[in-house]
Each structure stands twice: as structure tokens, then as C-alpha cells.
Amino acid sequence: MKRIIVPLDFSKESIKGLELAILYANKFNSDLQMVFVQSDKAGKFSIKLKNQYDAAMDEFETIIRKYKKKLHAECDFSYIIKSGKVHEEVAHQAEAFDDSMIICSTNGESGLSDYIIGSNAYRIVQETDRPVITVTSDKYIGEVKKIVLPIDITKETREKVPLVARIAKAFDSEIHIIKVTGSTNEGIHNKLRMYATQIKKFFDEQGIKYQSTLLVGDNITDSTIEYAKTIDADLIAIMTEQTTTITNFLLGSFAYQMLNTSPIPVLSVTPKGLFFTHGLRTTGG
């Protein structure tokens, strides 16, 4: 990935996203750009926006002085201050570049504005077609050694495999392919095994280490998270499983629950055809 976008509200919780982004940027030699979005509720009170802008610049300069030495010299480290709705502006910024990714914290709040990372993290995932990694402040991430790759019987479930493979190769990770289902139906299990076999073949060709297991349970989100916690995983990779309505894109139940409850960073990948379904479009422009 050529560029990583990191939304910040300057709280210590949101800095967790930056620290994780630096880890990924160093592995991929990516440029890293931080984004602060000023509240668009300031209205006519331009002095409030001016104060907000100046305060944000001071915060960014402090962050660059502190963290630039942790980033490889060939990686550009920059920031941008925007105005508008946080999830829209962050998505637009990521979509301004080819091969970009967003990494953000799912908790945090700043005194600079009404910008709350947590509530916007889910909206960012819904708004963009770019991969998004969300992280809480609960888990220290020093490496990405184990990745959990849940698969189901949908045809889209395998779309995340190439990106997961790129991450695994960069970090020399071991991937845990977990076939997840709430059903005991043998036909469903056979389809899961077929998908897993295809994925294993791809990983063999890429020289990627992996394990595979079947998880059957009433709540596949809980089963996935518990498995990830048991092996001390560093990343869970999911498809966003979004559904469309006339006016909005909504996260499906698995993706929503995963983003809401996982103490482990979650990589959300949007199905390729989603943003062109029925002429609907949520990308910038």
C-alpha cells in the first residue's frame, strides 16, 4: 500500500491508531498522512474554526517531532486539516490516492471539537471502499505475527485473501483460516472446506504459513473473537458484509458486532461490487 491515512482527534486513545499505522508504514514503505477534521457545526463562528485550526496545527507539529524518528526515512510523514463530516472527509482523503488504507482507533475524544473517533470509525468503514484497520487501546501491537481469517459460504469471503497475504508476507505472519458457521449442515461444511482448500493452495504458492480449523457456534462473532484471543492474534480480517438501502449503506450484523466488540485490531475489506450496486455510490467526488 502506497499511503496510509490516519484520522486523529489528538486524544491518547486515537494515537493508538497512529502507532499501529507507523508499524504498517515501516513494513510497506508507505507514506503516512494524518487527518484532523474540524467540526462543521461551528457555522458562522469563524473564530472558533480559526482557533481549532491553529490548535490542530500545534498538535500535529508536536506529534511529528515525537514520532518522525520512529518512521523510516523514505516514508513521507504529513498531515492535513479539513472541515466537514469526519467519516466523509477521511474517506475522501483516502480515495484521493491509489492503493491506500485507513488505520484508526475505535475510541477517543478530543477537546478540540466534537470529533469522537469511536462513533466515526464505523461510519468510515461504511463510507469507503478502501481497507480499514480499526484498533482499540486495549491491546499493545508490536508485530503482526498471527492473523485470523474467518471464511463463510458467501462468494465475497475470499476477496480479502490477497490483501491478507500481502500483510502476512510483510510481517512473516502465520494465518489461521477459520471456517465459521452456525450450522451443522454437512453441505455447508463441505463448501467451507472447498473454499479453505482454494485459499490454502494460494497461500502455498505465496509461501505463507497457515493453519486451518472449523468453528461451529450460535454466535460466529463471539466464536471468532474467542479463538483469536486464545492464540493471541494480532489481526482479524473480515469482509464488511454491508447491505444497501435506498439512502444508506449499513454494516451487516457480523461486521458491526466485530467492530463493536473485538479487542483485537480488525481489518475490514469491502466487497468489490458493493459501491457500484444499483448505481449507488458513497465514494468521494
pLDDT at position 116, please?
45
Outline where the chain has alpha helix (H).
12-28, 46-67, 86-95, 117-127, 161-171, 186-206, 220-230, 253-261
Half-sphere exposure of 59 (CA within 13 A, CB side): 22
What CATH architecture does domain 3-135 belong to?
3-Layer(aba) Sandwich (3.40)
Burial 252-281 (b: 16+ CB within 10 A, else e): eebbbbbbeebebbbbbbbbeebbeeeeee
Q: What is the grid cell recorded at 256? A: 458491526
Q: Is residue 13 predicted with pLDDT exceeding 50? A: yes
Q: Is residue 237 predicted with pLDDT exceeding 70? A: yes
Q: How far apart are CA 100 and CA 97, in angstroms?
A: 6
Q: What is the identity of the amino acid at 126?
A: Q
Q: How far apart are CA 223 and CA 258, in angstroms?
A: 11
State the pTM of this model. 0.87
> pLDDT digit string (tens) for 44-59?
444 455 688 888 999 9
What are the structural domain ranges in the chain? 3-135, 146-279
> pLDDT digit string (tens) for 83-110?
988 899 999 999 999 899 999 988 655 4
pLDDT mean across residues, the chain: 84
Q: When comparing pLDDT for 1 and 77, which is higher?
A: 77
pLDDT at position 8, please?
92
Short-list 238, 100, 99, CA closest to 90:
100
Q: Is residue 38 predicted with pLDDT exceeding 60? A: yes
pLDDT at position 236, please?
96
> pLDDT digit string (tens) for 139-191?
667 899 999 999 988 888 899 999 999 999 999 999 999 998 888 899 999 99
Short-list 136, 153, 142, 88, CA closest to 115:
88
Is 146-279 in the same CATH topology as 3-135?
Answer: yes
Q: What is the grid cell recorded at 238? A: 473480515
pLDDT at position 115, please?
44
Q: When comparing pLDDT for 43 and 78, which is higher?
A: 78
Beta bridge partners, 269, equal 239
What's the Cα-to-Cα distance from 68 to each of 34, 54, 107, 144, rounded to whole Å?
12, 21, 23, 21
Q: Is residue 19 predicted with pLDDT exceeding 90? A: yes
CATH number attached to the domain at 146-279: 3.40.50.620
Q: Which pLDDT band holds residue 259 (cuts at 50, 70, 90)?
A: confident
pLDDT at position 250, please?
44
pLDDT at position 245, please?
41
